[in-house]
Amino acid sequence: MTMRSLITTLCVALGTLGSVCAQTQAPPVQSANIMDVQPDATTDPNYAKQTNGERSKVQPGNNAPMWRQVGAGVTGTSSLPKSEAPEAGNLIQPFVQYPGSRVTNAGEAWRQVRNNWLIPYGGSFILIVLGAIAVFYWRVGSIKLHDKPTGRLIERFTPFERSAHMINAAAFSVLAISGLVMAFGQFFLLPVMGTTLFGWLAYVLKNAHNFAGPLFAVSLVIVIGTFIKDNLPAKGDLNWLLKGGGMFSEHEVKSGRFNAGEKVVFWGGVFVLGLVVVASGLVMDKLVPGLDYTRSTMQIAHMVHSVSNILMIVMFMGHIYLGTLGTEGAFQGIQTGYVDETWAREHHELWYDDVKSGKIPAQRSASGPSGVPASPLQT
């Protein structure tokens, strides 16, 4: 057999083999252009209830049933363990309605609450209160003493009380400043600083926020335990509130060591809002054992954290003002621990009377303001 005959025989054999293989292969998958589907495909009364498989028979390529289930929050199958990924297989959250949002999926509802309510109204509320304090100071000024100081001092806060208060105040200041920058910085800092510098600032403040949080939580518990006894409701508190503490008159309403306004700050701002802020912060840091950290859990914790923080900041703005610029001699009490006898008599007359009568010692710590042994208040 010549070489030419051999090549011809091989070609014929390969051609025959190819024909046989082609005949035994499965027919190709048939597809259709969705634009070529008959217009009466949607006339089926069960069209909207069709599964993805049923829809592919009348409208190949139309995966609307599958995506409708995804959008409705239907959970699919996932190989990840439920303990590590409680929302595995769930791409879009179910429909909910958070306060202030439309009925939509939970992620979009949270976004609406944050962008349409918390940011604009929360920021406006803080600015309004800050402006009101500024106007009040401009028109009224600091609350001055009516009589001259006597030079005789009464210990208002012990070193331990001052330390607890200052540590808690410092932690709160870091949390408030960092939180405000993270929430509102994009509106008033980003345009000035630029993206790079603002990004670094936000990164630093975020970490400062995370470190100051535990310090605030621990010091908050200490502050509550330290001052709760003297902040219990007492006779005359309601009268003090009804008269506004005498702020717009010549004389203040009589009160104990802490007046009713300070008690409102303690119970409303420190106790209630403070504990809510700490609890919601622990949830967002995933430090509460046994809790399923789903997206909805984090969204609710964030909204609660934001609202309570805004209210707490506003309340403490008034507290800080009255304890510094707003009241003559008030800052001396927290700075040194001592106030003048005149200050005690004019601002906390019932407490002053108890000190004068000996029910409460004028000196509770071992040494006086100058480090020398203190002597009782002389009358």
Q: What pLDDT score was predicted for residue 308? A: 98
Residues 6+ apart with CB under 8 A from 313: 126, 176, 180
Q: What pLDDT score was predicted for residue 379? A: 45
CA distance 148 to 343: 9
Cα 159–chain centre separation:
31
Stretches in the chain below the pLDDT threshold 50: 20-22, 26, 371-375, 378-379
Nearest 10 degrees: CA dihedral of 87, 89, 95, 100?
40
Task: Quickly list DSSP for 262-308.
Answer: HHHIIIIIIIIIHHHHHHHHHHHTT-STT----HHHHHHHHHHHHHH
Question: What type of residue sits at position 323?
Answer: G
CA distance 132 to 134: 5
Residues 6+ apart with CB under 8 A from 219: 164, 167, 168, 171
Q: What pLDDT score was predicted for residue 372? A: 41
- Domains of the chain in start order, with CATH, are 104-157+228-357 (1.20.950.20)
Q: What pLDDT score was predicted for residue 351? A: 96
Alpha helices in the chain (DSSP H): 3-24, 52-58, 64-71, 106-113, 119-139, 159-188, 190-193, 195-227, 237-242, 260-264, 274-284, 295-323, 330-336, 341-347, 349-357
CA distance 294 to 301: 11
Phi-psi region of 286 (alpha: psi -120 to 50; beta: other; left: phi over 0): left
Q: What pLDDT score was predicted for residue 368? A: 67
Burial class for 247, CB neighbours closer than 10 Å (0-12, 13-18, 19+)? middle
Tell me the CB-side half-sphere exposure of residue 289, using CA atoms within 13 A.
0
Q: What pLDDT score was predicted for residue 278? A: 97
Quote the tokens at residue 372. Answer: 């020398």
Question: What type of residue sits at position 2?
Answer: T
pTM of the model: 0.80
